[in-house]
Each structure stands twice: as structure tokens, then as C-alpha cells.
């Protein structure tokens, strides 16, 4: 059977939502979890449209909230498929918040959601390949490849560190840390 491909533009997804007081924390700023939930929905819509299947969230990278979001601001999320593997897709999401009174727009974060397409039996299923139509599409695809490679390397280093950490000189390791070891 001939392999199926879809362009990035086919599944580009944009969602905007007004930030209401019910979304705020005790400091009057919008809960990070509220933004994450919205991002997860946008990632789902974008990935499922490309895949033509139901998708699940497997991993989320780079959730650094660079700017607080305030009540009354309009949050917009722009999502596109940056990369596809066999059953996995990486969706990049740019989040911006617009303040109507000040007429300002701020970039709050860009995050990457790894989603996996599932078939009717709940098993990972192959997704269409990606047609890279613009220089930006190509750049995002190459960057996603690099992030995947670095993530695999980081995981391996972390695994090794976990195995050896308790064998190291604890006093030296904790010399500049703000903790007290009270166990015997
Ligand atoms: C993710 C999941 C489908 C992997 O299942 P699996 O049987 O291990 O399947 P595979 O090993 O074939 O992996 C499937 C794909 O997921 C990718 N994957 C698995 N774990 C991953 C991780 N931690 N980070 C990124 N990608 C991952 C694999 O690389 C593979 O990609 P590819 O098909 O493009 O090569 C399975 O663990 C799952 O369903 N998890 C729950 C997801 C969920 O319910 N999320 C909602 C939040 S509760």
C-alpha cells in the first residue's frame, strides 16, 4: 500500500480563550495548570487531525512560563506538527497572551507535546508522513530530531547517575546545598 503523507498546514490549529477570574490563583495570575490543560487539548486536536486517529499525550517538553498571564487577557495557542515518527508526533505549541487595554502581546512559552496515535484496539498505529512545505517546517522538523536525540542522551545519563549516586561522597556532593541529613 502506498505510504500516506500530509502537509504541516493540513493540521495547523489555533485556539484563543479569554482568561476569566475562575482561572486565577491566589496571586491573581492564571494557574499554570489551566494553561497546560488548554495546551493539551490543542495538541490533541492538531495531532489527531494529522493522524486521522485518536491520539494520547506521552510526554511534554519545555514548559517554562516566561511571563505571568493575567485575568482579562486573551490567550492564543498556535499548534503545528513539527515531527512524525512511526506512531508518534511532536506538536509544537506557541502561547501568546494579548492585553487589550495596554494593546500589548507577550510570548509566554513554547512547548513540545509528544503524542501517540492509537488504533481502535488501543495499540500504537502508524501516522501519515509529513510534507515540509516551508523553510520553517523544515527547521522545526530538524530541531525536533535534535531534541529527540538530546533527550535520549539525557535519559541514558540520568539512568547511569541514578545507579551511581549513592556510591559517591555524600558530604562533598551536598557541601553547597541547603539541606541537613538527619538519618542514622
Ligand atoms: C505511549 C504508549 C502508547 C507507548 O506504548 P508502547 O506499547 O510502549 O509502544 P511503543 O514502544 O511502540 O512506542 C510507541 C511510540 O511512542 C514513543 N514513545 C514511547 N515512550 C515515549 C516517551 N517517554 N517519550 C517520547 N516518545 C515515547 C515511541 O518512541 C514510539 O514512537 P514511534 O512509533 O514513532 O517510533 C503507552 O505507554 C501509553 O498508552 N501510555 C499512556 C498514554 C496516555 O494515556 N496519556 C494520557 C495521559 S494520562
Tell me the pairing of strands 5-7 and 129-131.
parallel
**Residue 168 confidence (pLDDT):** 87
Does pLDDT of 171 surpass 80?
A: yes
Q: What is the mean pLDDT of residues 57-61?
A: 97
- Smallest CA-to-CA distance from 170 within 158, 181, 155, 182 is with 181
Atom of ligand 1 nearest to the CA of 59: 24
Does pLDDT of 41 surpass 90?
A: yes
Q: Do residues 112 and 92 make contact, with C-beta atoms less than 8 angstroms apart?
A: yes
Q: What is the mean pLDDT of residues 106-124?
A: 97
- How far CA 174 is from CA of 81, 163, 166, in Å, comes to 42, 18, 12
Q: Taking CB atoms and a 6 Å cutoff, what residues make up the pocket around ligand 1?
A: 56-59, 85-88, 114, 116, 124
Which distant-in-sequence residues (6+ apart) come within 8 Å of 95 by Cβ? Answer: 35, 39, 75, 76, 77, 107, 108, 109, 110, 111
The CA distance from 38 to 14, in Å, is 11
Atom of ligand 1 nearest to the CA of 89: 34
149 C-alpha vs ligand 1 centroid, how far in Å? 16
Atom of ligand 1 nearest to the CA of 57: 45
Does pLDDT of 1 surpass 80?
A: no
110 C-alpha vs ligand 1 centroid, how far in Å? 22
Q: Which three cell numbers stand for residue 147?
A: 531534541
- Smallest CA-to-CA distance from 101 within 125, 74, 141 is with 74
Domains and CATH numbers, the chain: 5-134 (3.10.129.10)
143 C-alpha vs ligand 1 centroid, how far in Å? 20
- What is the pLDDT confidence band of residue 184, given thresholds at 50, 70 and 90? low
Q: What is the mean pLDDT of residues 80-85?
A: 98
Provide, rounded to the nearest whole percent, the portion of the chain with pLDDT above 70. Answer: 99
Does pLDDT of 62 surpass 70?
A: yes
Which distant-in-sequence residues (6+ apart) come within 8 Å of 11 by Cβ? Answer: 46, 47, 49, 50, 80, 81
Q: Do residues 109 and 118 make contact, with C-beta atoms less than 8 angstroms apart?
A: no
Closest protein CA for atom 20 of ligand 1? 58
Ligand 1, pocket-test mutation among 51, 58, 121, 155, most atoms within 8 A of CB: 58
Q: Do residues 19 and 69 make contact, with C-beta atoms less than 8 angstroms apart?
A: yes
Does pLDDT of 99 surpass 90?
A: yes
- What is the pLDDT confidence band of residue 90, given thresholds at 50, 70 and 90? very high
Does pLDDT of 81 surpass 70?
A: yes
**Residue 2 confidence (pLDDT):** 84
Does pLDDT of 107 surpass 70?
A: yes
- How far CA 9 is from CA of 37, 43, 89, 165, in Å, comes to 24, 15, 15, 46
Amino acid at each position: 500500500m502506498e505510504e500516506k503523507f500530509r502537509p504541516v498546514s493540513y493540521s495547523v490549529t489555533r485556539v484563543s480563550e479569554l482568561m476569566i477570574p475562575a482561572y486565577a490563583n491566589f496571586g491573581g495570575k492564571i494557574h499554570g495548570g489551566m494553561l497546560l490543560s488548554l495546551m493539551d487539548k490543542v495538541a490533541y486536536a492538531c495531532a489527531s487531525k494529522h493522524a486521522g486517529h485518536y491520539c494520547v499525550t506521552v510526554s511534554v517538553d519545555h514548559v517554562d512560563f516566561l511571563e505571568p498571564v493575567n485575568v482579562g487577557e486573551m490567550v492564543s495557542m498556535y499548534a503545528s506538527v513539527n515531527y512524525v515518527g512511526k506512531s508518534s508526533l511532536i506538536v509544537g505549541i506557541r502561547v501568546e497572551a494579548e492585553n487589550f487595554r495596554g494593546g500589548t502581546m507577550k510570548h509566554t512559552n513554547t512547548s513540545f507535546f509528544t503524542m501517540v496515535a492509537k488504533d481502535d484496539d488501543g495499540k500504537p498505529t502508524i501516522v501519515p508522513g509529513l510534507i515540509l512545505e516551508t523553510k520553517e517546517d523544515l527547521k522545526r522538523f530538524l530541531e525536533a530530531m535534535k531534541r529527540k536525540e538530546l533527550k535520549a542522551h539525557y535519559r541514558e545519563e540520568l539512568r547511569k547517575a541514578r545507579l551511581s549516586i549513592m556510591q559517591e561522597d555524600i558530604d562533598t556532593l551536598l557541601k553547597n546545598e541547603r539541606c541537613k541529613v538527619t538519618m542514622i
